[in-house]
A and B are shown apart, each in its own frame.
Chain A
Amino acid sequence: MELRPGLKLSSAVCSTEVIVVAGSGDVDLTCGGVPMLAPGAEAGEANAAEGLTEGTMLGKRYCDEDGTVEVLCTKPGDGSVGVGQTAFGLKEAKPLPASD
């Protein structure tokens, strides 16, 4: 699917919803190994692939190894988000002190 920052996608296998923070062009963004759905798209019967059920956490960001594709989890679920059959890693950020 064509990714662009701001695009909202939902999982075909669980309750996960994400917003694309970084990434563009044709990317096979998946949850549980199954392509994610654009808003309004009908979800068929699908189950998460084995090993792609680490789950997503609200407010966490997930990205590929070089950080070119990054999503923000806006609704948590049981599947792992990633590209194709490769799950993203959790993006760890050093918390900053509140400044405003």
Chain B
Amino acid sequence: MNILTLLDMAVSGFGERTAFGSIGSGLTYAELLDRASRAGSSFTGAGSERVSFLDVSSPALPVALFGAAYAGQPFVPLNYRLADNDLVALAERTTPASIVTGADQAPRLAAVPGLTLFDRDQFLANTASGDGLEPMSWSMDPEDIAVLLYTSGTTGAPKAAVLRHKNLVGYILGSVEFMGAGEDEATLVSVPPYHIAGLAAILSSVYAGRRIVQLPNFDADTWIDLVATEGVTHAMVVPTMLARIVERMAARSIELPSLRALSYGGGRMPLPVIDHALNLFPETRFVNAYGLTETSSTISLLGPDDHRQAHTSHDPAIKRRLTSVGQPLPTLEVSIRDDEGAEVATGTPGEVWVRGEQVAGEYLQQGSKLTPDGWFPTNDGGELDADGYLYVTGRLDDVIVRGGENISPGEIEDVLLEHPGVRDVAVIGVPNDQWGETIGAVIVGSANEDELKAFVAERLRSSRSPDTVIYRDELPYNDTGKLLRRVLRAELDES
């Protein structure tokens, strides 16, 4: 069991289909496997123990990913948006390593010993021809490490999440039908290489036989143009991207009829944005996917039929499903637990626990975080309703404890976003001597403070109403759409 098996099967089944890029000029599955064997040979020759990648998306990404598997070395993508000192610290933890990088990034690594640099353009030229490793010489040990992904590290140094071949292959075999994509299908990938969704998209699409079109630096207009010119049928975006796409689509008043399926995940989707998107793409099948790096991507999804039903329903219980992450994949188990690790009753909030083959739940140096019976506590708060729909409220670290009462920021944010005078919002705990914490709402928009407090009190209850409302021009997000609450907290502490 090795992620290379997925590519090898693709070559057997449809080797001459285009795997990456435009039809005609792109890379076929057969060419990708050949290039991976040559890349594997280079990595082996470099004497490295890991294969790192510091670059935007390009065909070099799948060549390096599968080349690393060929060489039996973990693939370790790095975030090129990190500050120099943070980047160097991670690169040092990754050595001895081969690293594929662009000419613009290479100078940033000059001071790091133990790195063998492969210039991206040279790497692509060199893997186009020549001798590679023997076919099928790769290890089939499912316990080997396929990928190391550094977490964003909200508290302390980033952790290196370990994903073994058995986790990633288990995820693909359990969720993707081999050759399930028609020859005309293409997916647009705009998440970066260091995001689990970016890597999972490569593996899923290779196994399904769906061509990948890469968008290196997301921009809504380029995204829209690529969908049109490349006949893109599928795409995955994070909520901040969809919000921008929806804005630009409306401004340019164009339609994208080729787009059959649009999945989103990686953060909370504001209800007004998804409602608007469902109107703009009336024929598109929407999927909301929830997952973590530590679970090899998606563990729960809200499918197309649920989206349309919830979108048009007047029943509040059905309508609410648009704020859920749907139902857990049939190949794994999800359980909601209390502080003691005991399962709670249906409809009761707790911590989301997950168990299944794709669940790695492991970090380098720290080891496995699974319980003895294989459960991974995600540190996400959530609840399951009577129909098995999962509602995720956010990281448990973000829960506000106000006078002994636990309050999920997500619940209040969802309500505030329904107010027409609120474009974006973050709810965070504000340290307070009397209450421990009070509720602070950081608002992008023009809604009046008293009106907002009353709006929340009416829809939830008065104890959920923000104690403080602060206005900002925009909220801080990272490039993969995660709201940076710690940045907001620090800003508020300073002021």
A: residues with CB less than 8 A from B are 5-8, 19, 21, 58-61, 72, 74-75, 93-100
Contacts and interface: CB of A to CB of B under 8 A. Distances in A.
Contacts of A95: 177, 180
Nearest to A95: B177
Taking each of A19, A93, A95, A99, which has the highest tally of chain B beta carbons within 10 Å of its own beta carbon?
A: A99
Contact of A98 (B1, B166, B261): B261
Given A75-B12, A99-B265, A100-B236, A59 B178 contact: yes
B200 interface: yes
20 contacts: A6-B2, A6-B165, A19-B1, A21-B173, A59-B178, A74-B8, A74-B12, A93-B177, A93-B330, A94-B330, A96-B303, A97-B285, A97-B301, A98-B187, A98-B208, A99-B204, A99-B287, A99-B301, A100-B265, A100-B289
A19 B165 CA distance: 14
B332 interface: no
Given A5-B166, A58-B9, A98 B287 contact: yes
Nearest to B179: A59
Question: Mostly helix, strand, loop or mixed at chain A's interface?
Answer: loop
B268 interface: no
Contacts, number: 82
B1 A6 contact: yes
Question: Mostly helix, strand, loop or mixed at chain B's interface?
Answer: mixed
B211 interface: no
Contacts of A61: 173
B208 A100 contact: no
Give the interface size class of chain B: 35 or more
A97 B13 contact: no
A76 B13 CA distance: 10
B142 interface: yes
A33 to B, nearest CB: 25
B265 A58 contact: no
B1 A97 contact: no
A76 to B, nearest CB: 8
Interface string B260-291: 01010100000000000000000001010100
A97 B303 contact: yes
Given A6-B166, A58-B13, A99-B287, 20 more contacts: A5-B142, A6-B1, A6-B2, A6-B141, A6-B142, A19-B1, A19-B140, A58-B12, A58-B178, A93-B177, A93-B330, A94-B330, A96-B175, A96-B303, A96-B329, A97-B304, A98-B187, A98-B234, A98-B263, A100-B298
Nearest to A22: B357
A58 B298 CA distance: 25
B173 to A, nearest CB: 7
Contacts of A59: 9, 13, 177-179
Give the top 3 A-B pairs by smallest Cβ distance, nearest first.
A59-B178, A99-B289, A6-B1
Contacts of A98: 176, 187, 204, 208, 210, 234, 261, 263, 287
A89 B177 CA distance: 17
B452 interface: no
Interface in B201-232: 201, 204, 208, 210
Taking each of A7, A60, A61, A96, which has the highest tally of chain B beta carbons within 10 Å of its own beta carbon?
A: A96
Contacts of A97: 261, 263, 285, 287, 301, 303-304
Nearest to A20: B1
Contacts of B301: 96-97, 99
B1 A100 contact: no
A72 to B, nearest CB: 7
Contact of A7 (B140, B180, B297): B140
Contacts of B187: 98
Contacts of A19: 1, 5, 140
Interface in B289-305: 289, 297-298, 301, 303-304
Contacts of A60: 178
B197 interface: yes
Contacts of A74: 5, 8-9, 12
A75 B289 CA distance: 32
Nearest to A94: B330
Contacts of A7: 140
Contacts of B197: 100
A69 to B, nearest CB: 15
A58 to B, nearest CB: 5
A98 B262 CA distance: 9
A94 B208 CA distance: 14
B261 A100 contact: no
Contact of A8 (B12, B140, B234, B263): B140
A100 B201 contact: yes
A49 B124 CA distance: 49
Nearest to B8: A74
